[in-house]
Amino acid sequence: MKKIEAIIRRSKFDEVREALHDADIQWFSYWDITGTGKEREDIVVRGQFFESSYIQRRMLSIVVRDQNLDKTLKTIIDIAWSGELGDGKIFVSNTNESYRILNGQSGPESLY
Amino acid sequence: MKKIEAIIRRSKFEEVKEALHAADIQWFSYWDITGAGKEREDMVVRGQVFESSYIQRRMLSIVVRDQNLDKTIKAIMDSAWTGELGDGKIFVSTVDETYRIRNGQKGPDALY
Amino acid sequence: MRFIRKHSNQLINSIFNISTQNKNIPIMKKRFIASIILMIVSILPAAAQSIVIKEVPHIDFGNTAWIIVATALVMFMTIPGLALFYGGLVRRKNVLNILMQCFIIMAMISLEWVVVGYSMTFGTTTGFLAPYIGGFHWAFLNGIGINEISPYFVSQENARIPHLLFVLFQCMFAVITPALIIGAFAERINFKGFLAFSLLWSLFVYNPVAHWIWSSSGWLFKMGTLDFAGGIVVHINAGIAALITAVMLGKRKDYRGHAIPPHNIPFVVMGAAFLWFGWYGFNAGSALAADGLSVNAFLVMHIAAATAAITWVIIDLMVDKKPTLVGICTGAVAGLAAVTPAAGYINLSGAIVIGVVVSVVCFYMVAFVKERFGYDDSLDAFGVHGMGGIIGSVLTGVLATPLIQASYSGLLYGNVHQFNVQLIAVGITVVYSAVMTIIIFKLVEKTIGIRATRQEESVGLDETLHNEIAYTTID
């Protein structure tokens, strides 16, 4: 089983969500994050244009069966893409075990 | 590539942020979390002093190239330390793959 | 009838057992005789007349009811109006600090006002200091009985409000003025320094300036300054202090020359709406009566705000391509600030002119001038209130029309003198406020300190100064 953590633009979230559901990915978690680093983003406040160092993004966290990894990655990359700097990143790591709390079931079958 | 998840005090965030930028870490994400467990933290509400079981912390998530792991951990440890109970924890896990959404690039070079 | 407000006739008052200390005897005598004659005439049995017209000053319940409500409306402007307006504009780690500053000013300055403030501002001492400051004879409101009539009125000489109500109404003005300055030093001032500064400022800047312009013995009042509801006394006064403190305190450590995004724009909108609502009491209430003049003030104030709001949206569309909520709120507030000195002297067309002009100027101040000169007026207290007040006060000298109050006219009607008087009053207030603010600031800085530490500023003033978090992630 693999965990996919994707940092995407908030403006792309709805599209990505629909695409994932269409690709039969049954569940993922998401939350808002702020990123900070060298990257800057254009922002306007009270008529002043400037570059903000606080980048607002959305994090998606999806745990999938190994065989679904590639299609999930492809979906996110295709939909979340805009071609501009700041499109985001996807991190893939291994999930060692998964448990369904309802009945204690473990392994890939306990996923959605 | 390694993922570092650090749970630190909110009051230490600015220092940690500056330390990471000084160590040339280009990007990290952060969000507020609440922790719950055996730990207690002093809190005052309406004149009543008590121990709250809701611990407010900030989560930092940073994915780094293997060679940058040690300096990143050191930067966080040094700047987030106070010596008091509740300073936080750092978790390190392996990231199997990284993708840059904008151009599909993979691997350590897809990082910042 | 040259003056904005008149001090009542001493002899008539003493007949009706009201104490004052005016020594204006010759005029008094004439009026006394006139009133006696009127009284006699009105009592003469005239065949068809059964109405006895009271021609002596008395408490009018209709006016009193309205001004009681107006007083509450002005209170509402400080908390929650200004509190939310400013609170929403700062970062979430500092919102409680702003709310606290507004709340405690309401408490602290209310006390200051009844203990010495009212007496200092509207006291009727004589002597060489009288044009510059009232006395202390009304400290603790000593000598003001609950049924006494107010010495001040605007157009209803005989139908007045209680003296204590006038005290209360003015109290709310004294409260909101130092609260406006909060916008300049937001996010980097420490609490004790803030309290000391605000108190000293109220005592030595607000009270004297209000005395000069609103007290009948004040020297700017006697010069003929027109300030219906506080454009000079409140907005310019606070606005200049804001500029000075912003510069002297220094920039916020994260300030990069541009506004930091507001953390809660719905708060800003609520705050602006509450300010607009409460402003009805601020301006329409300054007529001290529920009469035609009050309604005119209501009308021009409302239309100036609406015009300023629309103008700001138009400029926003031209500059940012999108109409913003922060923009429309700022525009409305700027319009309100600018129309404040003019509300009792201008008509509808004047209101529209003021609304358009102030939005254009304040937008320019906020979006370009502040960045160009590099001062960190966090929430644009000078850019909006200060500049709005200056524009409105000067335009009062232009747009005042005898159609509203027959004795007052502006440049537009050929009255150059009024225009000059406005300029002088604005200039005097700017200089005095600036100099005194510098002195008070330095005094507080050198004695108890005024800037929050770097650590306090970076962690957030809510947690470090108040030990509270506005928005927890707990359940």
Q: Does the beta-carbon distance from A46 to C327 stay under 8 Å?
A: yes
Neighboring chain C residues of A45 at a CB cutoff of 8 Å: 258-262, 326
Mean pLDDT confidence for C321-335? 94
> Do C257 and C249 touch, CB atoms closer than 8 A?
no
Confidence of residue C8 (pLDDT cuts 50, 70, 90): very low
User: Are C211 and C147 within one domain?
Assistant: yes
Confidence of residue C17 (pLDDT cuts 50, 70, 90): very low
User: Are C85 and C41 within one domain?
Assistant: no
Confidence of residue C43 (pLDDT cuts 50, 70, 90): low
For the cut 60, the answer to whether the pLDDT of residue C328 exceeds it is: yes
> Do C53 and C42 touch, CB atoms closer than 8 A?
yes
User: Are C339 and C311 within one domain?
Assistant: yes
Q: Which of C154, C176, C98, C186 is nearest to C333 (CA)?
A: C176
pTM: 0.83
For residue C21, the model assigns a pLDDT of 41
Q: Is residue C3 part of a domain?
A: no
For the cut 90, the answer to whether the pLDDT of residue C258 exceeds it is: no
Mean pLDDT confidence for B77-88? 89
User: Are C164 and C29 within one domain?
Assistant: no
List, for residues A97-106, the tens digit of each pLDDT value. 888 887 878 8
For residue C10, the model assigns a pLDDT of 43
> Do B75 and B20 touch, CB atoms closer than 8 A?
yes
Give every CB contact of residue A29 below 8 A, 6+ residues apart in sequence: A60, A61, A62
Min Cα–Cα distance to chain B from C261, Å? 18
For residue C16, the model assigns a pLDDT of 42
Which residue of chain C has the CA closest to A43?
A: C261
Q: Which of C162, C281, C150 is nearest to C216 (CA)?
A: C150
List, for residues C269-289, the tens digit of each pLDDT value. 999 999 999 999 999 999 999
User: Are C341 and C289 within one domain?
Assistant: yes
Q: Does the beta-carbon distance from C380 to A46 stay under 8 Å?
A: yes
CA distance C368 to C350: 27
CA distance A78 to A75: 5
User: Are C276 and C366 within one domain?
Assistant: yes
User: Are C166 and C207 within one domain?
Assistant: yes
For the cut 60, the answer to whether the pLDDT of residue C23 exceeds it is: no
Residue with tokens 């994050």: A33
Neighboring chain A residues of C319 at a CB cutoff of 8 Å: 47
List, for residues A49-71, the tens digit of each pLDDT value. 888 888 889 999 999 999 999 99
Residue with tokens 């745990």: A63
Nearest to B102 among A33, A76, A85 (CB): A85
List, for residues C175-216, the tens digit of each pLDDT value. 999 999 999 999 999 999 999 999 999 999 999 999 999 999
User: Are C350 and C319 within one domain?
Assistant: yes
List, for residues B24-60, the tens digit of each pLDDT value. 998 899 999 888 777 788 887 777 778 887 788 999 9
List, for residues C141-164, the tens digit of each pLDDT value. 999 999 999 999 999 999 999 999
Domain boundaries, chain A: 2-110
User: Are C270 and C390 within one domain?
Assistant: yes
Q: Is residue C277 part of a domain?
A: yes
Q: Is residue C471 part of a domain?
A: no
- From residue C368, alpha-carbon distances to A75, C33, C256, C325 in Å are 44, 61, 14, 19
Angle of helix C163-185 relative to helix C237-249, nearest 10 degrees, comes to 30
Q: Is residue C16 part of a domain?
A: yes
The domain of C443 spans 58-466
Confidence of residue B65 (pLDDT cuts 50, 70, 90): very high
List, for residues C288-305, the tens digit of each pLDDT value. 999 999 999 999 999 999
Percentage above 90 pLDDT, chain C: 80
Min Cα–Cα distance to chain A from B49, Å? 32
**DSSP state, residue B107:** S
> Do A41 and A55 touch, CB atoms closer than 8 A?
yes
Neighboring chain C residues of A34 at a CB cutoff of 8 Å: none
Which residue of chain B has the CA closest to A69?
A: B97
Chain C contacts in chain A segment 26-65 (CB below 8 A) = 43-50, 52
CA distance C249 to C189: 8
Give every CB contact of residue C372 below 8 A, 6+ residues apart in sequence: none
For residue C300, the model assigns a pLDDT of 98
Note the ipTM here.
0.78
CA distance C295 to C301: 10
Question: Hey, is the C-beta of C377 within 8 angstroms of any chain A C-beta?
Answer: no
User: Are C264 and C200 within one domain?
Assistant: yes
Lowest mean pLDDT among B31-40, C72-81, C258-267: B31-40
For the cut 70, the answer to whether the pLDDT of residue A5 exceeds it is: yes
Q: Does the beta-carbon distance from A7 to B29 stay under 8 Å?
A: yes
Question: Hey, is the C-beta of C231 within 8 angstroms of any chain A C-beta?
Answer: no
Interface of A with B (CB under 8 A): 2, 5-8, 31-39, 57, 59, 73, 76-77, 80-85, 87-94
More confident residue, C117 or C472: C117
For residue C122, the model assigns a pLDDT of 96
* Burial status of residue C390 (CB atoms within 10 A of its CB: 0-12, 13-18, 19 or more): buried
CA distance C420 to C405: 19
User: Are C345 and C308 within one domain?
Assistant: yes
For the cut 60, the answer to whether the pLDDT of residue C358 exceeds it is: yes
Q: Is residue C154 part of a domain?
A: yes
User: Are C111 and C13 within one domain?
Assistant: no
Lowest mean pLDDT among A35-44, C245-254, C274-283, C398-407: A35-44
Phi, psi of C23 (to 5 degrees): -120, 40
Which sign, positive or negative, has the C-alpha torsion C24, C26, C30, C36?
positive
Percentage above 70 pLDDT, chain C: 89
Lowest mean pLDDT among A23-27, B14-18, C221-225, C228-232: A23-27
CA distance C280 to C276: 7
Q: What is the CATH number of domain A2-110?
A: 3.30.70.120
CA distance C268 to B101: 37
Query: How many domains is chain C partitioned into structurally?
Result: 2
Mean pLDDT confidence for C369-380? 90
Q: Which of C93, C109, C197 is nearest to C450 (CA)?
A: C197
